[in-house]
Amino acid sequence: MNRLSRAASLLSLLMIATSVAPAAAAQRAKREHLTPQEIELVRDAQELDVRAGVFIRAVERRLRIIFNQSAPDTKQEKQIAEVLGALPQGSRTELLYDIAHILDEAIENVDDTAQRNPKSPLLPKAVRKLSEASARFLAQLTPLRASIADKAEREQLEQAIDNAQQIVEAAKKLPAEETKDKSGKKG
C-alpha cells in the first residue's frame, strides 16, 4: 500500500507540475504593450483624436528604440519624455509586439466610437491622424522583413504591419475632408 500511495502522490505532483508550467509560461509571455504612464494618458484622453495621439507617440517611442534613434533634443521632446516616462524596455520582438498591440488598441477605440457615435466629428479626425502616422510606421517596418529570421519576431512584425495597413485602408474609405473657406466670402 505504501508504494501505491507514493505512486499516487508522485502522479498528482506530476499532474500539478504539468498544469502549472504552461500557465506560468503563458503569464511570462503576456506583456503589457503600454507603459504605466502611457496607460494613464490613454485613460485621461477622453477625446478620440487625443487618445490617437497617445497611441502614435507610444509607437514612435518603440520605433526609436528598434532603430537606435535618439529623440531630437528639443524642448517639446523633453516635455513629452517627462509626460510619457521612461522608455519601454524589451527585445525587438517584444517592442514589435507592443507596436502591433498598440495599433490594435487604436483600431478597437475607433471601432468602439464608430459603434457608439457614428456621427462623431472626432472619428474621421482620429482615423486620418492614425493613418498619417501608420503610413510613416509602414515605411519603417516594411524593410525589417528582409532582416528578420526569427519566427516569433516575424509574426509580431507582420501583425504590426497588418494593423498599420488596416488603419491606412480605413482612412481611404472616409469621405473627403471638408475645407473651410477662410476668405469669409460667400458663394
Place of cell 495597413: 165
- The structural domain count of the chain equals 1
Would residue 5 count as lying in a domain? no
- pLDDT tens track for 73-124: 677 777 777 777 778 889 999 999 999 999 999 999 999 999 999 999 999 9
52: Cβ–Cβ under 8 A, 6 or more apart, which residues?
A: 106, 109, 110, 126, 129, 130
- Closest by CA position to 53, among listed 11, 102, 92, 13: 102
Place of cell 497588418: 162
Would residue 1 count as lying in a domain? no
Host domain of residue 76: 32-172
Q: Where does the pLDDT of residue 176 fall: very low under 50, low under 70, confident under 90, or very high at 90 and above?
A: confident
CA dist list (Å): 185 to 65, 177, 178, 179: 49, 20, 16, 14
Q: Where does the pLDDT of residue 9 fall: very low under 50, low under 70, confident under 90, or very high at 90 and above?
A: low
Would residue 152 count as lying in a domain? yes
Would residue 73 count as lying in a domain? yes
pTM to 2 decimal places: 0.77
Would residue 181 count as lying in a domain? no
